[in-house]
Amino acid sequence: MTNDKPHSEQDDYKELLQEAIHQRTASLSDGKQEQLLKIGKKRARITNVLIVFTFLLLIQPTIYISTLLYYTLAPTNAMEIRNVVNQTLSVTEPNVFLKDRDMEQTLLPLSLQLHFDLYKRVGKKDIRIGEEKTDYVFSRATKVSREYTTDEKIPEIPYIDNEVLSHPNNYNASYNSSEEAQVLKGLPQESVVEAFVSFRELLSVQEVTDMFPTIDIVWYAIHTGLEEKQTNEEGMYVAPIGFPADMISRPSGAFESDSPHEEQFIDVLKSLQKHEDLAVKLSRAKVLELSKRISFLEKNGVKTYGAVVTGPKVEVEKLMSHEKVRKLKVGEARLWNWHS
């Protein structure tokens, strides 16, 4: 008796099919097989590229929306960063400011770029003196670049040897006042001039205003307890800080136009203190010591030891012999644009 199963027609069909496939494969030349293999690989590559491309198309909107949400809702959002930029410039750069409405803001994947022009007040006009670009990854400034068009080069980092405003008890001079007088004398009579004026004593803002009725005061250098020695406890140079005069007020600026800047100064410093690391990164001055300066001002009040002024050449020349003026440095000059 045998155990062989009956051979069905279905089994016969499978055997014939396998034999046909085998014959088909065997009949393909080696070249044909290689060609088919290449086609298969090519199709696989195209499939992979399409998968990656589809993934990128899907993730790009996600990244953009995430970036938009971050710079809208984060504690240090785009608006807050713009405020820090404006405040830093206002208190650390004598007679240098930006116009917030002209600031260009560009959102990139998980990053932000700000681009704006820099201005000075010379005479009765705001003159463009350069531009600044700042790059951020989230809220961290990664790059700050400046280009100036001023007659005299502005140093990259302020230091004792390039300081233009001096405390009454500080006799480190980065310039010679008699040489500055010659520069001023050589300018055309129809000139308007920017000048950095250092006083012989500490004065109130009102006293300075009363001293110079024929010219415009555009920025006050403020005594904060560190200007006499010019260094902090670690021996690092501490640059001057101050605030723009009330006449430089702008609706969207660091200082509001509806109250004296002298009264707003400490509040602006306190606001800036929350982002001091960012402010240091943005500023040419690399040490701000805001906590110590705020404490000093709250205890001693606001006094100025110098100011940036602008006016007709003839009126600025008179300051050279003013009893309260110790030193004067000539800044930018332009052809006549003065009016009452």
Q: Helices in the chain by DSSP H: which ranges? A: 9-27, 30-73, 78-92, 177-186, 205-211, 261-273, 276-282, 290-300, 313-318
The answer to whether residue 328 scores a pLDDT higher than 90 is yes
Residue whose C-alpha is closest to residue 317's, from 221, 180, 225, 171: 180
Query: In which band, very low, low, confident or very high, does the pLDDT at 1 lie, cut at 50, 70 and 90?
Result: very low
pLDDT for the residue 42: 75
Take residue 315 and report the two structure tokens written for it.
Answer: 């009126």
Q: How far is residue 306's CA from residue 319's CA, in Å, rounded to a whole number?
A: 13
In this predicted model, what pLDDT tens digit does every residue of 286-298 receive, in sequence order? 999 999 999 999 9
The chain-wide mean pLDDT, for the chain, equals 88
Residue type present at position 260: P
Q: How far is residue 317's CA from residue 296's CA, in Å, rounded to a whole number?
A: 34
pLDDT for the residue 12: 62
Q: How far is residue 214's CA from residue 218's CA, in Å, rounded to a whole number?
A: 13
Query: In which band, very low, low, confident or very high, does the pLDDT at 24 lie, cut at 50, 70 and 90?
Result: low
User: In the chain, pLDDT over 70 holds for what percent of residues?
Assistant: 86
Residues 84 and 112 sit within 8 Å (Cβ to Cβ): no
In this predicted model, what pLDDT tens digit does every residue of 77-116 receive, in sequence order? 999 999 999 999 999 999 999 998 889 999 999 999 999 9
pLDDT for the residue 39: 73
pLDDT for the residue 260: 87
Residues 327 and 198 sit within 8 Å (Cβ to Cβ): yes
Residue whose C-alpha is closest to residue 241's, from 228, 223, 259: 223
Domain boundaries, the chain: 27-72, 78-335
